[in-house]
Structure 1
Amino acid sequence: MVRSKNTSPTWNDVKTALLDFDRVGLRGLVQDLYSASKDNQAFLHARLGLGLDQLQPFKASISRWISPDLMKGQSVSVSKAKKAITDYKKAIGRPDGMAELSIFYCEEAIGLLESCSLEDEIYFTALIRMYGRSLEIVSDLPTLERSTYLDRLDKLRSRGRSVGWVVEEEFDRLWYDAVDEQKGE
């Protein structure tokens, strides 16, 4: 099937083109993708289980975007911080890694809010949603793996008191909903 020049290629087009690659050609393609960006490197390291800390590049991206150095003029980007978690999920998506990254996001966000006055409803809403998502992820972990994560989430709940807006109330609501749900298991 021949596509018109105005039609964007699809994954099916890519799969068909890959059929023409031999092993060496495919390895070369992956090498070029690896060299093309840090995101591709992080993806491949996580997917292939390489390196001592496969979460580090994802954490660095979260930190950069959710808790930037405002004194250097760096901007906040909730979407780019959340993209790091999505990228990890696509790469390997291990539940413990997802729990770690989502809680780390919340810790970094609270850290920024504790250190400066930020009045951004989108930022606060994203933090509350990520806290709720963290509780969901942790509740799906095996019981023995939950305690460390729950301790960190409880500490975040306490720290939420210092940042204002409705963070404290929403963290408490999400926390007690999750605790009640676990009691019902």
Structure 2
Amino acid sequence: MATKKPTKATPSWSDVKTKLADFDRAGLLGLVQDLYAASKDNKAFLHTRFGLGADPLEPYKDAIICWINPPDYRHPISVSKAKKAISDYKKALGQPEGLAELSVFYCEEVFDFLAGCGMDDAGFFDSLVRMFEQALKYVLALPKAQQTAFLARLDRVRLLGQNVGWGVGDDFDHFWSEAGLAADA
């Protein structure tokens, strides 16, 4: 009786890379085309990576809107799926200005959502505070000339946070002052 060679339980990137070495140019293009056609996430990734389209951030902003501020309030809210849009952009291109834009946009969309309905979920607000902190870090990592407009938008978010409870306003103020920014409220 012949014994079977044990196989790895989970293939790795190394295994894929080995298989890719066997592809010629046409085969590799065909594979990428299949991946492109397989999902809108793959399309967005490739468009972003190659700088295609008028606004490479649009699919990521659309996802944030879909999961944080859906036009139809019957659509479920998903903080994790909205945050995944930022993570997906980071994997596709990860330009600092794009990360700043998406994280600030996320915070703004939360308040657009809250203007139309209430939310009583500590996890939702904890996530908002973490995103505000992350947005502030992304913005402050940009060259000074690029920070001004983002900081003005975040300051507006900070002021809106004073009215939602759950300690959001206090947390926003803490991160704002920790960054050395003056709270003019």
Structure 1 distance, partners of 2:177, 2:116, is 27
Identify the residue that residue 177 of structure 2 maps to in structure 1. 176
2:47 paired with 1:45: yes
Please list every run of 5 or more consecutive structure 1 residues that lacks an aligned counterpart in the other structure: 181-185
Q: Which of these two proteins has the greater Rg computed from alpha carbons?
A: 2
Partner of 1:130: 131
After TM superposition, the structure 1 = structure 2 runs for residues 63-82 of structure 1, keeping only pairs within 5 Å, are 63-69=65-71, 71=73, 73-82=74-83
Paired residue secondary structure (1:134): helix
Q: Distance in 1 between matches of 2:52 and 2:180?
A: 36
Q: Is the 8 A contact 1:138 1:149 kept in 2?
A: yes
Aligned residues between the structures: 179
Deviation at 1:68, TM superposition (A): 2.3
Contact 1:85 1:98 in 2 (8 A): yes
Structure 1 residue matching 2:64: 3-state secondary structure: helix
User: Which amino acid letter does the alignment assign opposite residue 18 of structure 1?
Assistant: L
Cα pair 1:114 1:163 within 8 Å, conserved: no
Distance across 2 between alignment mates of 1:114 and 1:163: 10
Counterpart residue number, 1:147: 148
| Alpha-carbon displacement from aligned partner over 1:123-155 (angstroms, at most 9, x marks no partner) | 100100000001111111001110000000001
- RMSD between superposed Cα atoms in Å: 1.7
What is the CA–CA distance in structure 1 between the aligned matches of 2:21 and 2:6, rounded to whole Å? Answer: 21
State the TM-score, normalized to the length of structure 2.
0.92
Partner of 1:94: 95
Q: Which residue of 2 aligns with 1:165?
A: 166
Q: What amino acid is aligned across from residue 12 of structure 2 in structure 1?
A: T
User: What is the rounded CA distance, in whole Å, between the counterparts of 1:4 and 1:12 in structure 2?
Assistant: 17
Separation in 1, partners of 2:56, 2:37: 17
SS at match of 1:179: coil
- CA displacement, residues 2-47 of structure 1 (integer Å, 9 cap, x when unaligned): 9735612111110001011000000011111111111111100110
Q: Provide the C-alpha distance between the structure 2 equivalents of 1:152 and 1:134, rounded to a whole number of angstroms.
A: 11
Q: Indicate yes or no: 2:27 matched with 1:19.
A: no
Query: Alpha-carbon deviation of 1:160?
Result: 1.1
SS in 1 for 2:11: coil
Conserved 8 A contact 1:67-1:108: yes
Deviation at 1:114, TM superposition (A): 2.3
TM-score w.r.t. structure 1 length?
Answer: 0.92
Closer, same or farther: CA 20–175 of 1 in aligned 2, 3 Å: same
Residues 18 and 156 (structure 1), Cα distance of their counterparts in 2 relative to 1, 3 Å cut: same
2:104 is aligned to 103
**Between Structure 1 and Structure 2, which shows a larger proportion of helix residues?**
1
Pick aligned residue for 1:34 from 36, 43, 56: 36
Q: Which deviates the most, 107-116 or 87-96?
A: 107-116
CA distance in 2, matches of 1:128, 1:3: 52
